[in-house]
Structure 1
């Protein structure tokens, strides 16, 4: 009888022990660039010749003339009809322009941004400023590190976070 109880106790303990083991979770090894991105709205692009972005966070400031590149959107393509068919997308220009300011380190604390620049006729653009807090998300679950992004949009009416 003692052996029976010993076997039951061992079996129960083994079953309980295996249920309490931590689950192994794999997080993607994707690094998010520590940048403040700035997009110029398509209807404001024709007015902008160049932009300078200054951003300050945690007592450190970075600034640079932005290299403005054409913006685009993803356009879904038809999927192949096979049961394991593949789907794809292509890039299509959307009329926007964008640039990045490398911050070296980007945290979830507030950022003060200032955008200056020149119009296509050579005159200065209005100085635009914005205090904002970068967005923090956990797209791969609570067990994985947070991603922090700082994205801005500039148009004729001003500067805002996206």
Structure 2
């Protein structure tokens, strides 16, 4: 009987200890499996249409991108908080002269991507085909317990394609 009481007591203690551990909350944010393309501000005025092909793990996807005006975030500061606690802050977006588009590449993995861009210039002539092989970036913005985020982005300018930061 003493053995049973001791085991039951240890079991209850273990439940209490594990029940009191804090668990990190992970945001419920879905990641879009895309290759993001940005046309640099200095080159955007030369681009009429843009096509992107991306190959990863022996799978290729190709499409004409719907180009949208790019923007940057402008910090609007924080309101004064009472007692030094959290304060509401805000930002707004402002056009930055770039163009942006996205190509769905599902699933997006950590493997290298071979990308090629082509298109039409505003003068009606074909743009030079630009190619790049790059490795997507992996980050754990909310901690390793919340899983990894894989991002794949490229920048197109007059010099060609390069991985964006």
Give TM class, smaller chain: 0.7 to 0.9
Structure 2 stretches lacking a partner, 5+ long? 1-5
Aligned CA-pair RMSD: 2.4
Instruction: Report what 1:39 is aligned to.
Output: 38
Instruction: Report what 1:120 is aligned to.
Output: 122
| Structure with greater helix percent | 2
Find runs of 4+ consecutive structure 1 residues off by over 3 angstroms.
none
Counterparts of 1:49-60 in structure 2 under 5 Å?
49-60=48-59
> Any idea what SS the aligned residue of 1:44 has?
helix
The TM-score with structure 1 as length reference comes to 0.85
The TM-score with structure 2 as length reference comes to 0.84
Counterparts of 1:54-133 in structure 2 under 5 Å?
54-83=53-82, 85-133=87-135
Structure 1 stretches lacking a partner, 5+ long? 1-6
Question: How many corresponding residue pairs?
Answer: 154
Deviation sequence 1:58-78 (CA, Å, 0-9, x none): 111101000000000111113
Instruction: Report what 1:160 is aligned to.
Output: 162
- Tell me how far apart the structure 2 counterparts of residues 47 and 124 of structure 1 sit (CA, whole Å): 11
